[in-house]
Chains A and B, each alone.
Chain A
Amino acid sequence: MKFTTSWLKEHLDTDASLTEIVDKLTMIGLEVENVEDKASLLKPFVIASVVSAEKHPNADRLRVCMVDTGDGKPVQVVCGAPNARAGMKGVFSAPGTFIPGKNITVTVGTIRGVESRGMLCSAAELLISDDHDGIIELPADAPVGKSYADYAGTAEPVIEINLTPNRSDCTGVNGIARDLGAANIGAFKDRTVKPVKGTFPCPVKVTLDFGKTPPLCPAFGLRLVKGVKNGPSPEWLQKRLTAIGLRPINALVDITNFITFDRGRPLHVFDAAKVHGHLTVRRAKKGETLLALDGKTYALDESICVIADEKSVESLAGIMGGEASGCSETTTDVLIESALWEPLNIAQTGRKLGIQSDARYRFERGVDPAFMLPGLDLATQMVMELCGGQASETVVAGEVKMRDRVVDFPLSELERLTGLKVPLPDVRRLLEKLGFFAAGQGERVKVAVPSWRGDVEGKADIVEEIVRIMGLDRVKPTPFDRGADAFKPVLTPIQVRTRKAKRALAARGMVEAVTWSFISKREAEMFGGGAAELALANPIAAELSDMRPSLIAGLVAAAQRNADRSLPDVALFEVGQIFKGDKPEDQLIAATGVRRALAKSTGIGRHWSNGGAGVDVFDAKADALAVLTAAGAPAQSMQVVPGGPAWFHPGRSGTIQICPQNVLGHFGELHPRTLEALDAEGPLVAFEVILDKIPEAKAKVTRAKPVLELSAFQPVERDFAFVVASDVKAGDIVRAAQSADRKLVSNVTVFDVYEGKNIEAGKKSIAIAVTIQPREKTMTDQEIEALGAKIIAEVTKKTGGALRA
């Protein structure tokens, strides 16, 4: 919403400065987005007349003009505008002038061999409008040599308000003035419209015809003014419109645009001569079209409300008129329409047809129903003043129904919601300035809401009116009591896990990424997703179309992007949501990481200490176990079994589980086919664990740790090497050794794995170190020997191996 201060002052008696007005507007909720001060920008532009315009000797489309800029010495200007001609008046910029619409400075130049000492400007070049179809043409009486800005009224600063969608009353300058008046920035001039009496019946009848469908037009007013003389509107009106970026068309059209901005009341004018018979307001029929005033043809359907005559659709109700019945200089009889429309339908139609118009802007927010007929009277009055003619009586189809809104308002509500105490007389005065009426004297008053404030429904709205006009700075910051349970932990178990998981992975040298929650359909399918219910109906791009079932795809892509920037060795992780379905419980938190090339858990990149070994499955396994343990998974209960989902290398991946029914996650090398499909190069290892799957720890009564048991007896360590078949799992050997005596065997580690020379083909040697912790007494050599024999027997039995000779 744009307006100038002089326009504002038509509705507000005030001496306030621009700064005061602008500051106050923002502080009462009419946020000033921009104050455009064209005066300084347009200062160097002067009105000039074109003395002669000859064809350029070397270019068909150019003209060589002699331009009088007011000092009597015509200047030669080469001009490409199709409308440049002798005798016209336009806007001239001398060399050295900055052209805001083009971001250039005019220089003396030679165009196709002819010198040009300035420029004749288009409206677009001056940022006055989007019109760049030719240079500005000024009326014949425009004063040559004078400042164009002063002449056009663009010297005034233009205030632009970022209007919130609830304030339809401020789509008109008078509404803004009323708010400022209430906020003591001046006195609001209530310019009530006087009815204009018609002298004959309106010859055109209007029917609202929605059949059995929901009606889209509550009321429609129409009257004819006959015998008008249409032409350019007077200077003052043109200036009003050009100042806010509207292009004057002709008096009849300019009047409707003026009232749209002056009162927030959009109107439409039809050339009565071009309207065939009577008008019907109805839903469009599929297949109907309309060439609208913006020059575009729109295909219509039953969801769209139109005004039609007996031949065809003439106007898109509440949005834009039709070209065919539009008013021109030849119009002598004009039909003026002022109507009410269903805001929802206007919004939907506007969206569907892609039309942003000043009428739509107002009708979709809801106009003041009580001003439908006064708006029509105001337009009639202006038409008769500016164009002459005789007005008919008004015909009204439908009915202007006004909701009587009275809010039962206890004064205490203000204090309850804001902490502010304001005496009733002050509240009453303020509300009345806004057009409300407060009846009653006690603690509860009845507040009648004015017709233009469709947004005010209840007590809270009244409170808002009072605080916004009084000033929110009157509300004092009040310390907030943090409540009784101030020391209770506030994070849920999954929140705690998420935090710990992130820090644990970062502490392992990995870098946290945040990648999109959506990936491409192909990627989603590759990782077990791609369900129809998780595919966006309106994705922003094809590669961001489906909710991710895994974080691996996003991280692999991220790793590859880094590799493409010559950063091949990256370790990235993300802890975030994955989606198995569209229900809340289908959203899980995954902790996922990828390591690429030399980004090992022991250190990233080539280093003299390790000969440049690349990432392997054990880096991913270590990450997975570390993050699970940090997030509270029970270390003793986790099993690692070979293999994982299809996107991992079948022989170089593993699954971490509490039991086959409760899988916590997977790790491994990515399958070469997965990498290829993701357009990524390895070596690349990954893990993904689901934090929600970690069993919750049993609640403990106290925080005390279990009693520390320190044995009085020396532990004994014994080494054993077994030769087993190549496919025997080290984990099975360890478990077999542990099972020899669960009490005495306190630890088993694998310290060597060997295949090759001295070992039969198809076999391998695995060496374990077993720690034996005597519990009750020091063990004798014989006892230790016996336990050793038992360990050998268990391992041999479970794995089919033999003690290495």
Chain B
Amino acid sequence: MSNIAQLEKELLGAIAAAKDEAALEAVRVSALGKSGSVSALLKTLGAMTPDERKTQGAAINGLKDRVTAELAARKDALKGSALDTRLATETIDVTLPVREAPAEAGRIHPITQVIDELTAIFANMGFAVAEGPDIETDDYNFTKLNFPEGHPAREMHDTFYFPPKPDGSRMLLRTHTSPVQVRTMLGQKPPIRVIIPGRTYRSDSDQTHTPMFHQVEGLVIDKGSHLGHLKWILEEFCKAFFEVERVNMRFRPSFFPFTEPSMEVDIQCKRDKGEVRFGEGNDWLEILGCGMVHPNVLKNCGLDPDEYQGFAWGMGIDRIAMLKYGMPDLRPFFEADVRWLSHYGFRPLDFPTLAGGLSA
């Protein structure tokens, strides 16, 4: 065996035996460093004849290339195993629980969600959202709405009053959202298309009544809208809101001072263990009151009842929320029990849209 072959064998052996990068570097220096064994061989080339140099040169350079390549390969391998060794010491317990995203923990109250749903549906039919103050005058809450002074219909309202003012008048908490109809008619020219969601108050408190509750009303005033349109709007609304293919509705004549003709509307349903299904069954469930705006109300709001006409309807937001989402009782709506709110509430990013489905 030539010297070169011998040297190559020794060097490759040393490379393979190097346990870490330091040892490998020592091998590299011993071979390829300034006074390394391979460098020494290369230096001998200068004293050789051209012929010798031709054969020896190729052999020595071949040795150098192979040793260099082997060093690089060994270096990679050592680096890789050093990394593996380090990573093996770096484990963490990924089963530790992380914080729930705040948007997962937060909740929107069902009343807010239902008002947003109502807004989505009616905005799509061209309705704006009107609001008004909770503290109202007797005039707007009753008189302008055609409740005669002292009429039994006023008594049915269980009104909360404030103390009388020096002039004898007294403010009250609105018993329905209808005074906003008055404000709307007094404040803008027809055509009027609004829905009016808001808080309402009656001094009544038992299992099914709370002194504060929520209503939504609708009002349309123009020169041609009639009962047929009202029926259509309410049917479309019920289908959209309850997210069902069809609803059967029953319009019954009734009485409200501010509408004439007046109606109550029932929808057909099936009740089963606290769940209400619409479009099937044999029960009729009253969900709203409505009618053509009474000529006296139009007059009281500065509109000529022979020129303008329209209709209005009203229903309980809490009640339709209960029907749709299955809360059995009204009182917990206002108790702020986080267990109830977390269960019946909605995620903040579940914004109701018609495009995506209201409760999708």
Binding between chains A and B? yes
Binding site for B on A (CB under 8 A): 26-29, 31, 164-167, 344, 347-348, 351, 364-365, 415-420, 458-461, 463-464, 467-468, 472-473, 475-480, 482-483, 485-486, 490-492, 495, 499, 502-518, 532-541, 544, 547, 554-555, 558, 561-562, 565, 567, 570, 572, 576-577, 579, 582-584, 587, 601-604, 607-609
| B84 CB, nearest partner CB in chain A, Å | 29
Stretch at the interface among B14-22, B29-37, B44-52, B153-161: B153-161
Decide if A167 touches B255 in the complex (CB within 8 Å). Answer: yes
> Which residues 178-194 of B have a CB within 8 angstroms of A?
191, 193
Decide if A490 touches B127 in the complex (CB within 8 Å). Answer: yes
Stretch at the interface among B4-12, B59-67, B74-82, B108-116: B108-116
Decide if A165 touches B253 in the complex (CB within 8 Å). Answer: no
Confirm or deny: B57 has a beta carbon within 8 angstroms of a beta carbon on chain A: no
With a CB–CB cut-off of 8 A, which chain B residues contact A458?
295
Decide if B262 touches A505 in the complex (CB within 8 Å). Answer: no
Confirm or deny: B199 has a beta carbon within 8 angstroms of a beta carbon on chain A: yes
Selected contact of B339 from candidates A502, A567, A584, CB within 8 Å: A567
Decide if A164 touches B255 in the complex (CB within 8 Å). Answer: yes
**What total of chain B residues lie within 8 Å of the partner, measured CB to CB?**
93
Decide if B102 touches A514 in the complex (CB within 8 Å). Answer: no
Complex Cα distance, B134 from A583, in Å, reads 10
Selected contact of A477 from candidates B132, B149, B231, CB within 8 Å: B231
| B18 CB, nearest partner CB in chain A, Å | 43
| A24 CB, nearest partner CB in chain B, Å | 11
Decide if A475 touches B152 in the complex (CB within 8 Å). Answer: no
Decide if B133 touches A473 in the complex (CB within 8 Å). Answer: no
Decide if A507 touches B337 in the complex (CB within 8 Å). Answer: no
Decide if B106 touches A570 in the complex (CB within 8 Å). Answer: no
Cross-chain pairs A/B with CB under 8 angstroms, 11 sampled? A415-B226, A472-B251, A472-B252, A505-B106, A515-B336, A536-B161, A561-B335, A582-B162, A587-B134, A603-B99, A604-B105
With a CB–CB cut-off of 8 A, which chain B residues contact A460?
260-261, 292, 294-295, 305
Complex Cα distance, B225 from A468, in Å, reads 19
Complex Cα distance, B173 from A499, in Å, reads 24
> Which residues 296-352 of B have a CB within 8 angstroms of A?
305, 309, 333-339, 341-342, 345, 347-349, 351
Decide if B155 touches A577 in the complex (CB within 8 Å). Answer: no
With a CB–CB cut-off of 8 A, which chain A residues contact B131?
492, 495
Decide if B99 touches A533 in the complex (CB within 8 Å). Answer: no
Complex Cα distance, B108 from A48, in Å, reads 65
Q: Which 5 A-B pairs have the closest CB atoms?
A: A29-B253, A509-B102, A164-B255, A478-B228, A506-B348
Selected contact of A165 from candidates B100, B133, B152, CB within 8 Å: B152
| B119 CB, nearest partner CB in chain A, Å | 7
* With A417-B226, A562-B338: A510-B106 Cβ-Cβ less than 8 Å: yes
With a CB–CB cut-off of 8 A, which chain A residues contact B305?
460
Confirm or deny: B69 has a beta carbon within 8 angstroms of a beta carbon on chain A: no
Decide if B338 touches A511 in the complex (CB within 8 Å). Answer: yes
Decide if B232 touches A480 in the complex (CB within 8 Å). Answer: yes
Confirm or deny: B163 has a beta carbon within 8 angstroms of a beta carbon on chain A: yes
Confirm or deny: B73 has a beta carbon within 8 angstroms of a beta carbon on chain A: no
| B334 CB, nearest partner CB in chain A, Å | 6
With a CB–CB cut-off of 8 A, which chain B residues contact A459?
295
Selected contact of A506 from candidates B107, B129, B295, CB within 8 Å: B107
Selected contact of A475 from candidates B111, B112, B228, CB within 8 Å: B228
Q: A419-B226, A517-B173 are in contact. List 11 more A-B contacts (CB 8 A).
A: A27-B252, A29-B253, A417-B261, A463-B292, A477-B228, A486-B126, A490-B127, A508-B102, A513-B341, A537-B170, A540-B204
* With A344-B150, A511-B338: A419-B103 Cβ-Cβ less than 8 Å: no
With a CB–CB cut-off of 8 A, which chain A residues contact B232?
477-480
Decide if A562 touches B228 in the complex (CB within 8 Å). Answer: no
Selected contact of A417 from candidates B204, B212, B309, CB within 8 Å: B309
| B318 CB, nearest partner CB in chain A, Å | 9
Complex Cα distance, B264 from A27, in Å, reads 10
With a CB–CB cut-off of 8 A, which chain B residues contact A577?
134, 199
Q: Which residue of B lies closest to A418 (CB)?
A: B227
With a CB–CB cut-off of 8 A, which chain A residues contact B193?
483
Decide if B235 touches A477 in the complex (CB within 8 Å). Answer: yes
With a CB–CB cut-off of 8 A, which chain A residues contact B97?
607-608
With a CB–CB cut-off of 8 A, which chain A residues contact B226?
415-419, 478
Decide if B203 touches A538 in the complex (CB within 8 Å). Answer: yes
| B298 CB, nearest partner CB in chain A, Å | 10
Decide if A511 touches B155 in the complex (CB within 8 Å). Answer: no
Binding site for A on B (CB under 8 A): 96-100, 102-103, 105-109, 111-112, 116, 119, 123-129, 131-135, 149-153, 155-156, 160-165, 170-171, 173, 191, 193, 199, 201, 203-205, 211-212, 220, 224-229, 231-233, 235, 251-255, 260-264, 292, 294-295, 305, 309, 333-339, 341-342, 345, 347-349, 351
Q: Which residue of A lies closest to B105 (CB)?
A: A509
With a CB–CB cut-off of 8 A, which chain B residues contact A490?
119, 123, 127-129
With a CB–CB cut-off of 8 A, which chain B residues contact A415?
226
Decide if B255 touches A165 in the complex (CB within 8 Å). Answer: yes
Decide if B228 touches A473 in the complex (CB within 8 Å). Answer: no
Decide if B309 touches A567 in the complex (CB within 8 Å). Answer: no
Decide if B106 touches A509 in the complex (CB within 8 Å). Answer: yes
Decide if A351 touches B106 in the complex (CB within 8 Å). Answer: no
With a CB–CB cut-off of 8 A, which chain B residues contact A555?
336
Decide if A535 touches B252 in the complex (CB within 8 Å). Answer: no
With a CB–CB cut-off of 8 A, which chain A residues contact B295?
458-460
Selected contact of A587 from candidates B133, B160, B220, CB within 8 Å: B133
With a CB–CB cut-off of 8 A, which chain A residues contact B292?
417-418, 460, 463
| A552 CB, nearest partner CB in chain B, Å | 13
Complex Cα distance, B229 from A482, in Å, reads 11
Give the residue among A27, A514, A576 with the most B Cβ atoms within 10 A: A514
* With A478-B231, A512-B341, A609-B99: A517-B134 Cβ-Cβ less than 8 Å: yes
With a CB–CB cut-off of 8 A, which chain A residues contact B253?
27-29, 464, 467-468, 472
With a CB–CB cut-off of 8 A, which chain B residues contact A347?
150-152, 155
Decide if B102 touches A582 in the complex (CB within 8 Å). Answer: no
Complex Cα distance, B201 from A605, in Å, reads 37
With a CB–CB cut-off of 8 A, which chain B residues contact A567?
338-339
Decide if B336 touches A483 in the complex (CB within 8 Å). Answer: no
* With A506-B103, A506-B348, A582-B162: A461-B260 Cβ-Cβ less than 8 Å: yes
Complex Cα distance, B116 from A506, in Å, reads 15
Q: Which residue of B lies closest to A505 (CB)?
A: B106
Decide if B134 touches A537 in the complex (CB within 8 Å). Answer: no
Decide if B163 touches A507 in the complex (CB within 8 Å). Answer: no
With a CB–CB cut-off of 8 A, which chain A residues contact B111?
514
Decide if B199 touches A572 in the complex (CB within 8 Å). Answer: no
With a CB–CB cut-off of 8 A, which chain A residues contact B211?
516, 518, 540, 544
| A702 CB, nearest partner CB in chain B, Å | 24
Complex Cα distance, B35 from A255, in Å, reads 139
Give the residue among A28, A165, A510, A565 with the most B Cβ atoms within 10 A: A165
* With A513-B336, A577-B134: A506-B251 Cβ-Cβ less than 8 Å: no
Q: Which residue of B lies closest to A610 (CB)?
A: B99
With a CB–CB cut-off of 8 A, which chain A residues contact B201?
517
With a CB–CB cut-off of 8 A, which chain B residues contact A510?
106
* With A418-B226, A464-B260, A533-B171: A480-B233 Cβ-Cβ less than 8 Å: yes
* With A472-B251, A587-B134: A480-B235 Cβ-Cβ less than 8 Å: no
Decide if A511 touches B162 in the complex (CB within 8 Å). Answer: no
Decide if A582 touches B251 in the complex (CB within 8 Å). Answer: no
Decide if A507 touches B294 in the complex (CB within 8 Å). Answer: no
With a CB–CB cut-off of 8 A, which chain A residues contact B170?
537
With a CB–CB cut-off of 8 A, which chain A residues contact B99?
602-603, 607, 609
Decide if A506 touches B108 in the complex (CB within 8 Å). Answer: yes
| A563 CB, nearest partner CB in chain B, Å | 10
With a CB–CB cut-off of 8 A, which chain B residues contact A473?
251
* With A506-B106, A582-B135, A607-B99: A538-B161 Cβ-Cβ less than 8 Å: yes
Selected contact of B151 from candidates A165, A418, A499, CB within 8 Å: A165
Selected contact of B252 from candidates A31, A533, A541, A602, CB within 8 Å: A31
| B94 CB, nearest partner CB in chain A, Å | 13
